[in-house]
Amino acid sequence: MRNDDATLADAASLPRLATVAYARPMTSAPDDSILMRQYRDGDPAAFEMLYRRHKDSLYRYLSRLSYDRDAVDDVFQEVWGKIINARSTYKPTAKFRTFLFRVAHNCFIDHLRRNERHRQPSLQDIEPPASPGPEPDEQAERALLRRRLDAALADLPEAQRDAWLLHEEAGLNVDLIAQVTGVNRETAKSRLRYAIDKLRAALAGNGAEAADAPRRAGAGEKP
């Protein structure tokens, strides 16, 4: 247990990689809604900027929802196709990122309905690339942690994984997660709480923390 905590502490002390989950845009960069408007008015460069700003987080979100590379590519392309088609009707009433991930969530649900033989994720589907920097021992240790985290993510119930990924990749809070997934706030909060507890337990190396999660989360929440 102490060893695991030390490992987590080491993980936190490592320099953050450039590929953060949801990088904040630069202050000088135009807003998403402005880019969308420029694209609607016929500027393809605005769409390219918008696309490059959000593509990776969306791709990771879909990758960990499906774990099927072909399906991920299809849904990813479908999502952006819908964004392209919605350029004339898009109104910046909400953040573009929220809009984008709501479209992605709905497209993924539609994809599941179309393909009922949605296979369960496995670690062979997506192999995380090795990150340069740490020493070989540390590298091996962090690779082990990443594998454990990936396995824990894959084991999460789909709704909880969805809530966690929306929180991490899209940077949505509980209210927006509820809005995107079409559930009430308490349900969204409960799903996120369970997901976090299970992932923490998986990284700690035992299931005790995950087993305690329902008791801490409250009587109305289900794992």
Partner 1 sequence: MNSPSNNRPGDVAESRLRDLYRELAVETTPPELDARILADARAALRDRPAPSRIWMRPLAVAATLGLCVALVLEIGTGPDGTPVIPDPAADTREEIGHAARESRAQKMGESQAAKALPATNSFSDAVAAPGERPARGDTSAAGASSDDLRERESPDAPSDALARQAVRPEAALLEEAVVPATQSGTDEASAGKRQAVDAVARGCDERATRDAGLWLDCIDKLEAAGERALAASERRRRRAAFPDAD
Shortest reach from residue 43's CB to partner 1, in Å? 8
- x-or-dash pattern for partner 1, window 185-204, by CB under 8 A? ----xx-xx--x--xx--x-
CA distance 169 to 172: 8
Contact of 202 with 152, CB cutoff 8 Å: yes
The C-alpha atoms of residue 69 and residue 51 are separated, in whole angstroms, by 20
Record the tokens describing residue 132, joined without a space.
Answer: 């340069």
Instruction: Count the neighbouring beta carbons within 10 Å of the beta carbon of residue 69.
Output: 11
Cβ distance to partner 1 smaller for residue 81 or 92: 81
d(CA 92, CA 37): 9
Mask for 90-119, x = binds partner 1 (CB under 8 A): ------------------------------
Give the number of residues in contact with partner 1, rule: CB under 8 A: 56
d(CA 152, CA 66): 14
Give the single-character DSSP code of 206.
S
> Residue 95 carries which side chain, given as an amino acid letter?
K
By CB under 8 A, is residue 67 in contact with partner 1? no
d(CA 192, CA 195): 5
List 102, 105, 167, 191, residue binding partner 1 (CB under 8 A): 167
- In the bound state with partner 1, the residue whose beta carbon lies nearer, of 106 and 173, is 173
In angstroms, what is the minimal distance from the CB of 185 to partner 1? 10
Q: At what angle do helices 69-85 and 44-66 cross, to 10 degrees?
A: 140
Tokens of 123: 């670690």
Residue in 35, 71, 80, 181 binding partner 1, rule: CB under 8 A: 80
Q: Which residues bind partner 1 (CB under 8 A)?
A: 8-9, 11-12, 14, 16-17, 19-21, 39, 42, 44, 47-48, 51, 55-56, 59-60, 63-64, 73, 76-77, 80-81, 84-85, 87-88, 126, 128-129, 131, 142, 145-146, 149-150, 167-169, 174, 189-190, 192-193, 196, 199-200, 203, 216-218, 221
